[in-house]
Structure 1
């Protein structure tokens, strides 16, 4: 379709496993789109504990034991609900809902939807991300005895204790899944060969969008500026409603009805790689420069955004309102990709539990100190106190002074424990119960103590792997019930480029803060929006001044001059650990300052001890910290 010059309309239908099939149907029904993409592999709520886990690792053992289909039910639900409209409107569908078994979901789709309904649709699946069959060979190739960690080349970064402990304990901490982040090459090839529905496993979040845009516009593998623009378009729409009103730090400016039942975004990707982010007019929600900037700043690691097809330089990206619910994104520059890609390794990390205990009113801190002392004493008497990898006592919330009701006076203590041995974790609840009737004044808690019983957890290890180790292919199923699958192996990128050191610098041409005049202590969020998220063990945080509230640029000059690395450490407060490291850069066209804080998430989301294990709340915490803001900005 290289002759087509109009923008390709790519609609997202999912940003995580729970997104229901209705969303794919809505994107197909409520307006014209050329392609529907979906990212189902972002996270999972795993019952009964409701702990967010990464689904590839979480379902791997069940799949291998024949107790799980390997693909995601919500993706199948979407295909069932949308298939008739997809066929009628000739919409291409590219989703990663195949998870551990893209072949299985593709075959089911063809058999039970396409063939059963007599639809004229070609179904394909992408293969090559699952490297479990060779991960141990890859480990043995490394002279240090393990795949290199994603942050290994950053000499300033120290990894959490036990990050690579599984490498030394292959029997007690076996690897359960190892999936490489694939690019767009197999997707584009499938579309070039006429595929209508492409089921993927672990492709990078933006790869379906890049592949769709490259097919539509006939881009070559070396059209780096265009590919980089599509990469950022994919990044912008990959997270479901995060760009149409959800997870939006400016939400308080909107009425609650505007934030209900949000529609999902659409990226109109043009031939030069620029895009316009929009949505179906008939669906709820909103798209504006601020929602787009928030999503753009989400889960970054500086100004270079990576994919196995292209590097996108976003140092001078521009985000501009065009009209209602239409935002143009431009200024992205591309370069050849690295020769490596990310390999997500999950392994059996051991056992964990947590217990929540409430306290109301007076002397709360002393109450929690007593509870900690009681539990530690009993675990010592039971002979296991030194066998915990983590035994953490987290004081959540602070009671309101002169409370207006009991709930305003109530906080809770979160006791979190991890250990290699199940028997060690099993001692926590009886050790607590031994002193149940010796509790502090007014102790109370939920009657459901199941979270305090041992449950297994997965450790996460983000590795780097050469793309030459991957056999990436697209496989098109035959039109009839019999026949051969057409397999096309795409191979690694033909041209690659080594990664440069990430940008890290203090304010450029900083303005004297005294020149802004008198200050008052107020939350940083009074003048800055932002967003944060997880990148393995690390938290990223982007803060920006809404342009429409800063025509003179004074607030931006203040923000970039004020938000140094030292100031950020200060605002992190007692959460800061001396072994953490901060990188800082600026994006002047966005009026944004961006930080990566290395270390807070420990070994990553699936095993992190902190309550905000996805780092989503970090920016909101920083925005709530009071700082000396120039008084004139608040008037």
Structure 2
């Protein structure tokens, strides 16, 4: 925040501090008086930057208020008063529905976020919140739009503290106010929604979490400055950065972030529905990429409601094996542990009990580390004694194990820890009671005495019911032999990707990079478009299932769309993350690594495309391997 304020000219600083679980993690501690309820880094940034904000007249909009936006706003107002600064502070209220959702078993469970799709199967224990009385609701927050933010800016607010507004809502609110849009200027609002989506994840658009990172000097990839969105009156935007410090903005970093955590070809917000099919990007100069082609439509009548509840206890045990007969060693250990649990009468008491094999030992290993992999035993249960029974087997079978058995010296993860599980729901926007609250110090001598003026806000004027999400294979797909000779190579040799989570679902977008790796110069137009025709013809839903191999389950459901303007194929895989967030048993519970895993899978790639990217012969690649 300090860098963005000091290192160049900006009109607004926006901040998204919330993952799905942030508010829930601190809700109990806040209620017990052991946590302020807001994000400490939001206060830290404002405290460091407050004098510059006042001097440059930069407005700030953040959702770092988390569970307690009022508390953070009052603390900021006290700082403003103490410094004698001419800044108005406000906070958003109305997202916190904990009082309404506490007695959910009596009032009924709101519909699940994916309830409109009959082909989606909920993960096991998804409905435990309703079925089991020992799982109390800890937090319940709806995702608000930008209406309260706009009202606050219209009433002179300089710093607006929100709780669970959607990630992009601060940017939408800033652009909406700046350009004096109406709440039915849907194309413009949709453009601002995507601008906000592009910069909401700190450095993700300036080189962090970038699939093509290995083509850059590694020292350019850390200590980077975050992105800036220049939102124009028609809603189109240019993504850029201050012309100082490290980081970079290219068509490919923008494509990566655009594809992150999408729901398909429609991106939803409480104020607008963004239709993404026509998206296009173009480099306009160093660290300047224009994005356009987004269309808007009225928002849905519902918004997302994130409910977290105390689901029980988690624990995990990790044991290692080295070299010869590793698979048989893990077979033996799993059988022994299940025998011990059966004898204790605990085997059927777990909500989740998985024996996950992580890694494969290297053939003809060059070191013991390269020969070692591990077994991760992951357990969830309602009763901590069930998990403790599992942990007790470490002692009982301490001298009964496979040859070469070893593990980490620290078994604290085997001790059961309480965990929260996530239930994503739908909530009617018409039932929300929201407001923007303007603060003012009553007296300079007593800065803690505050006056609050609450201004109610109203729902959007129009809604449009959600339709079934689009899903389709390529129209007019070409024969895969159309491009001549092929060689077996990794998909990632010519394709970049970005993946992420949407609750229990994962999204993955694959795209043809704009630039060649060797000199990072634009590829020839023919290579570019022909590679795209090959990618969309090859990467079908059946092909995705094949690439997922042993990780595919028939309980999953897949949707597929294409974004021709950025040469991307996009998938949503429903159910692959289980209950998602903190309740998921997956090692990669947020699907961050799923795209790179699938890029490492081998497919038949036309030789001309490999040669066009300088990969026609074997050469060194990251990790010391070799590729075509």
Question: After superposition, where does 1:304-323 map in structure 2 within 5 Å?
Answer: 304-323=266-285
Match of 1:247 in 2: 209
The C-alpha deviation readout for 1:289-323, integer Å capped at 9, x for no partner, is 00000000000011100000000001011111000
Query: 2: CA distance between counterparts of 1:434 and 1:243?
Result: 51
The correspondence for 1:513, drawn from 467, 480, 493, is 480
Q: 2:291 aligns with which of 305, 319, 329?
A: 329
1:134 to 100, 104, 121: 100
- For residues 216-615 of structure 1, the aligned pairs below 5 Å read 216-481=178-443, 482=449, 484-547=451-514, 548-549=522-523, 551-552=525-526, 553-615=529-591
Aligned match of 1:629 = 605
* Residue of structure 1 equivalent to 2:122: 159
Q: Which moved more, 1:121-130 or 1:476-485?
A: 476-485
Mapped to 2, the partners of 1:345 and 1:161 lie a distance apart of 17
Q: Which runs of 5+ in 1 are unaligned?
A: 1-23, 44-53
Moved more, 568-577 or 439-448: 439-448
SS of aligned partner of 2:406: coil
Deviation at 1:136, TM superposition (A): 4.7
Deviation of residue 484 (structure 1)?
3.3
Q: Write the deviation string for residues 369-395 of structure 1: whole angstroms up to 9, x where unpaired.
A: 111111111111111001011110111
Matched residues in 2 for 1:225 and 1:140: separation? 42
The TM-score, its normalising length taken from structure 1, stands at 0.93
> Offset of 1:275 from its aligned partner?
0.4
The verdict on how the C-alpha distance between 1:177 and 1:550 changes in structure 2, with shifts beyond 3 A counting, is farther
Contact 2:102/2:136 (8 A) holds in 1:
no
Query: Residue in 2 aligned with 1:117?
Result: 83
Q: SS state of the match for residue 134, structure 1?
A: helix
Q: State the Cα distance separating 1:433 from its structure 2 match.
A: 2.1
- Deviation track 1:193-236 (CA, whole Å, cap 9, x = no partner) reads 00000000000000000000001110110110000000000000
Runs of 4+ in 1 over 2 A off after TM superposition: 136-141, 479-484, 547-550
How far off is 1:137 after superposition?
6.7
Q: In structure 2, do the counterparts of structure 1 residues 139 and 206 end up closer, same or farther at CA, with 3 Å as the change threshold? A: farther
Q: What is the rounded CA distance, in whole Å, between the counterparts of 1:71 and 1:447 in structure 2?
A: 36
Once the two structures are TM-superposed, the CA of residue 138 in structure 1 deviates from its matched residue by 7.0
Q: Does the Cα contact within 8 Å between 1:550 and 1:556 map onto a contact in 2? A: no
For the residue of structure 2 that corresponds to 1:448, the secondary structure is coil
Compute the RMSD of aligned alpha carbons: 1.1
Which residue of structure 2 aligns with residue 64 of structure 1?
31
Cα distance, 1:432 vs structure 2: 2.5
Going from structure 1 to structure 2, the CA distance change for 1:383 and 1:140 (only over 3 Å counts) comes to: closer
Secondary structure at 2:112 match in 1: coil
Q: Which residue of 2 aligns with 1:86?
A: 53
Residues 65 and 162, structure 2, Cα contact 8 Å, conserved in 1 = yes
Change (3 A) 1:435 1:137: closer
Question: For the Cα contact (< 8 Å) 2:139–2:309, is it kept in 1?
Answer: yes
In 2, Cα distance between the equivalents of 1:261 and 1:122?
Answer: 32
> SS of the counterpart of 1:385?
coil
What is residue 9 of structure 2 aligned with on the other side? 32
- Report the CA distance between 1:600 and its aligned residue: 1.0
Contact 1:236 1:296 in 2 (8 A): yes
The question of whether the paired residues in 1 share the 8 Å contact of 2:441 and 2:451 is answered with: no
1:164-192 deviation digits (Å, cap 9, x = unpaired): 1111223x001000000000000000001
1:306-356 residue CA offsets vs partner (Å, 9 max, x unmatched): 000000001011111000000001010000001110000000111110011
Three-state SS of the structure 2 residue aligned to 1:87 is: helix
| From 73, 78, 97, the counterpart of 1:106 | 73
CA distance in 2, matches of 1:505, 1:155: 17
- Distance in 2 (CA, whole Å) between partners of 1:136 and 1:405 is 55
The alignment partner of 1:427 has SS state of helix
SS of residue in 2 equivalent to 1:557: helix
C-alpha distance in 1 between matches for 2:178 and 2:112: 36
Within 1, Cα distance between the matches of 2:462 and 2:101?
25
Secondary structure of residue in 2 paired with 1:103: helix
8 Å Cα contact 1:91/1:196 also seen in 2: yes
Question: Do 1:388 and 1:419's aligned partners in 2 also have CA atoms closer than 8 Å?
Answer: yes
Q: TM-score, normalised by structure 2?
A: 0.94
C-alpha separation in 2, matches of 1:373 and 1:567: 34
* Alignment: residue pair count: 597
Correspondence for 1:19: none
Q: Secondary structure at the match of 2:245?
A: coil
Contact 1:230 1:273 (8 Å CA) reproduced: yes
